[in-house]
Amino acid sequence: MVEVRRSTVIDAPIDEVWRILRDFNGHDRWHPAVAVSKLEGADHTDQVGAVRDFRLTGGERVREQLLSLSDKTRSFSYAIVDSDVPLNDYVAHVALKPVTDGTRTFWNWHSKFRPPAGREQELAALVAEGVYEAGFSAIRTLLSGQAAAQIAGSIEGQAIMVARHGGPEELRLAPVQVPPPGPGEVRIEHSAIGVNFIDVYCRTGAFDLLQPPGIPGMEAAGIVIDVGPGVPHLAAGDRVGYACPPVGAYATHRTMAADLVFCLPDNVSNEVAAACLLKGITAEFLLHRVHRLKAGENVLVYAPAGGVGRMLCQWASHLGARVIGATSSPEKAEAARAAGARDIVVPDGRSLEAQVMELTNGQGANVIFDAVGRDSFAHSLRSLAVCGHLVSFGQASGPVGTWDIGALSARSATISRPNFGHFVDTPEKLTRSTARLFEALRDGVVTAGTTQRFPLADAALAHRALEARQTTGSTILIPGESA
């Protein structure tokens, strides 16, 4: 066996170095030896057991598996499971420790492997110099560039940071430096920030959109501070909004790519925008693109008093559908009726599907918009009309799990699992969606409705209320507001 050890000191805080390294599938963004990488069979890149399949710049293919990862010790181990490079039985370990002054990081990287006879020195040098030393140098360059950008023209702000995936207690206010916009970027001062269930999935790690330490949030409205070169559609002082990845909205200020940031019309305030952009855009593509709703169809909407559910009820009712709301309390039932639900299904000893079939004279729902997931999926399938369409667009109770496709034949059902990002990933798609949403807001077809406000510093309280189903309508965070 050959053992290779390398260590170095990086002039950056340990959290900054760890944020980069713990992204097991992110090495193609910083390591000069890695050309392209993809993740196999895992929901997120810090999932133990994940396999990254990558090619080196020389064309060799390597597959490596994450064996362990600890945010507490800031360390991980991985092994080669398949490779064009003859590093047999290769296992490596990476560990970080803070240097005494707290602003520098000690990085240790070592491995053991069994090379073919006669190639011990060659392959040891390849690992030590071509991989480890090159990686050290690349991280130094990356972090020094980020530091320089922060120093020149940066703004001091505050943001809610997630140090590690977990519960609401991981949402903590911290100071941040907001750099000036580069080419194609805009810097925004936020006035209001939307809170959505996708933020919960990011905080817990259920969705691979936030790598700790990071800032959650995909929706906000505010004022443009300045723009970088190549941003013709925005100018300083514009009122703008956005509802798109990457995450980072839970902050007083933000610098981000400008292509999916848009000006708000005069009739839509910043708080209304933050309360309903992501939800309204979701309702728009669900009703107009995922399932082109027809007048007279029976529609079942889960959580009809919530943000997206309420807008679905309003819009579907306006389009001439018969809306049935599935909710959990008399108070939320009244809110659903006010939003356009003709009938309400509540827990009363009968199954949801029995109630839906009774309300529809045995026909069932032509389309079901289900944001609950695991706890509702089977009930939804049994509530469908023949040739009905189940749109599973959320998983508040957890993933739906594995289902035999044969179960769909009982209703000749169609299943959709739309991804928000695929419907708003270009300015053209976004413009079509927001134009339809702003028209619906202007004409009163949909409204922002009840909005819960929390100071930005109380983001954890907002998440607890959302997860406990204690909210109605939308929830927003207000920077600078006190509890």
Tens of pLDDT, residues 36-58? 899 897 777 889 999 999 999 88
Q: Domain 2-150's class?
A: alpha beta
- The predicted pLDDT at position 421 comes to 85
**CA-closest candidate to residue 302, choices 261, 265, 336, 278:** 336
d(CA 454, CA 451): 10
**pLDDT tens, position by position, 438-450:** 999 999 999 987 7
CATH of domain 295-418: 3.40.50.720
**pLDDT tens, position by position, 285-342:** 999 999 999 999 999 999 998 889 999 999 999 999 999 999 988 888 998 999 999 9
Q: What is the mean pLDDT of residues 88-101?
A: 90
Q: What is the band of 150 on the pLDDT scale with cuts at 50, 70, 90?
A: low
Q: What is the mean pLDDT of residues 1-29?
A: 90
**pLDDT tens, position by position, 430-439:** 999 999 999 9
Residue 186, pLDDT above cutoff 60: yes
- The predicted pLDDT at position 373 comes to 87
End-to-end CA distance of the chain: 60
Least confident of 192-196, 293-297, 347-351: 347-351
Q: What is the band of 149 on the pLDDT scale with cuts at 50, 70, 90?
A: low
- The predicted pLDDT at position 260 comes to 94
Residue 144, pLDDT above cutoff 80: no
Q: Which residues belong to CATH 3.40.50.720 in the chain?
A: 295-418
197 against 390, higher pLDDT: 390
Q: Give the amino acid at 215.
A: I
CB 51 within 8 A of CB 39: yes
Q: Which residues belong to CATH 3.90.180.10 in the chain?
A: 160-277+452-478
CA distances from 234 to 187, 188, 265, 429 (A): 11, 11, 13, 18
Residue 102, pLDDT above cutoff 70: no
- The predicted pLDDT at position 68 comes to 96
Per DSSP, the three-state class of 15 is helix
H or E element, residue 432: helix 427-442
d(CA 76, CA 60): 24
The DSSP annotation for 85-140 comes to S--EEEEEEEEEEE-TTSSSEEEEEEEEEEPPTT-HHHHHHIIIIIIIIHHHHHHH
Residue 483, pLDDT above cutoff 80: no
CB 373 within 8 A of CB 400: yes
Query: Which residues have CB under 8 Å from 328's CB, separation 6+?
Result: 346, 347, 469
pTM exceeds 0.75: no
Residue 151, pLDDT above cutoff 60: no
- Quote the percentage of the chain above a pLDDT of 90: 67
Q: Quickly tell me which residue has 């997931």 as its tokens.
A: 373
Per DSSP, the three-state class of 40 is strand
Q: What is the mean pLDDT of residues 135-155?
A: 76
Query: Which residues have CB under 8 Å from 365's CB, separation 6+?
Result: 298, 299, 300, 324, 356, 383, 384, 385, 388
Residue 215, pLDDT above cutoff 90: yes
Sign of CA dihedral 38, 41, 44, 46: negative
- The predicted pLDDT at position 208 comes to 83
d(CA 114, CA 199): 44
- The predicted pLDDT at position 436 comes to 96
Q: What is the band of 24 on the pLDDT scale with cuts at 50, 70, 90?
A: very high
The topology under which CATH files domain 160-277+452-478 is Quinone Oxidoreductase; Chain A, domain 1 (3.90.180)
Residue 482, pLDDT above cutoff 70: no
Instruction: Name beta bridge partners: 97.
Output: 106
Q: What is the mean pLDDT of residues 378-395?
A: 94
Q: What is the mean pLDDT of residues 264-274?
A: 95
CB 416 within 8 A of CB 290: yes
Sign of CA dihedral 468, 473, 478, 483: negative
